[in-house]
Amino acid sequence: MSIPGQQSADALISRLGVPVDPDLLILALTHRSFAYEAGGLPTNERLEFLGDSVLGIVVTDKLYHAHPDLPEGELAKMRAACVSQRSLAKVARDIELGPCILLGKGERTTGGRDKESILCDALEAIFGAVYLTHGMDVARDVILRLVGPSLEAAALSGVALDWKTSLQEACAERGLGSPVYSVVGEGPDHARSFTATVLIAGEPRGTGTGSAKKHAEQDAAAEAYAAITSDA
């Protein structure tokens, strides 16, 4: 199997700054929609799972040592800001990852190459591929080089993009109890979509959608946060 636009793929490797095992690279770029249409090929989801964990430990370690005086809650918010779907999608766009992703026809025709969820998942899969190819030290260097601006922005702004944590805190301040999330999945495995609803004091206050439960819940939390903080 080849990667669409081999020149784009070569440029991607150049921007990563390290070579990646060719088989792992193709796997990292294989979205489930393409795998389904191609007769059930392996998808990038296992690599995404691995890359998500590698990204998490690298960012956590960096924040822990860079901010020795910050409490756990603030570190958690900064980490969430750095590894949010929006932040990772921006990194993916910066390295022009979208044109390299293997997508099914439906995703291609609906702008899948610029969807935040697809870009985020593919970037995490790339991190997983780099880790398997080179090990932790090289993976750390690549990740910090790419997400470094997000780390710096989070440190300077102090603004959390972890909407679930922000919502939890806002509810506690207002005596509303803990938010309760309900998530429903729809569609076939190769095009799964999740819808999350968050209940506050028994009432639905926000909804969100995404290709993963965590993304749907974050979107729902963001909407609910806006709703309750604007209440009189």
For 4, half-sphere exposure in the C-beta direction (CA atoms, 13 angstrom radius) is 13
DSSP state of 30: B
Q: Cα 50 to the chain's mean position, in Å?
A: 12
Q: What whole-number distance in Å separates Cα of residue 179 and Cα of residue 109?
A: 37
* Under 8 Å between Cβ of 132 and 50: yes
* Under 8 Å between Cβ of 103 and 31: yes
Q: Cα 146 to the chain's mean position, in Å?
A: 14
48 is known to lie in a ligand binding site: yes
Give residue 23's pLDDT. Answer: 93
In this structure, what token pair is assigned to residue 130?
Answer: 């780099």
Give residue 193's pLDDT. Answer: 84
Catalytic positions are 52, 124
Question: Where is 166: in which H helix or E strand?
Answer: helix 163-173
Give residue 75's pLDDT. Answer: 83
Q: What whole-number distance in Å separates Cα of residue 206 and Cα of residue 226?
A: 9
Question: How does 172-195 read in b/e, with b if 16+ C-beta sit within 10 Å?
Answer: eeeebeebebebeeeeeebeeebb
Compute φ and ψ for 205, nearest 5 degrees. -120, -10
Give the torsion through C-alpha atoms of 53, 59, 60, 66, to 10 deg: 170
CA of 28: how far to CAs of 39, 42, 109, 203, in Å?
17, 10, 21, 40
The CA-CA-CA angle for residues 170, 173, 176, to 5°, reads 80
In this structure, what token pair is assigned to residue 206?
Answer: 């926000």
- pTM (two decimals): 0.70
Give residue 159's pLDDT. Answer: 46
**Per-position DSSP letters for 62-121, written without gaps between them:** HHHHH-TTS-HHHHHHHHHHHTSHHHHHHHHHHTT-GGG-B--HHHHHTTGGG-HHHHHH
Written as tens digits, the pLDDT of the chain (232 aa) is 555 545 567 888 889 999 999 999 999 999 999 999 888 889 999 999 999 999 999 999 999 998 888 888 778 878 877 888 888 988 999 999 999 999 999 888 888 889 888 999 999 999 999 999 999 999 999 999 999 887 777 665 554 457 888 888 889 989 999 999 999 998 877 677 899 999 999 999 999 888 788 888 988 988 898 888 776 4
Give residue 64's pLDDT. Answer: 93
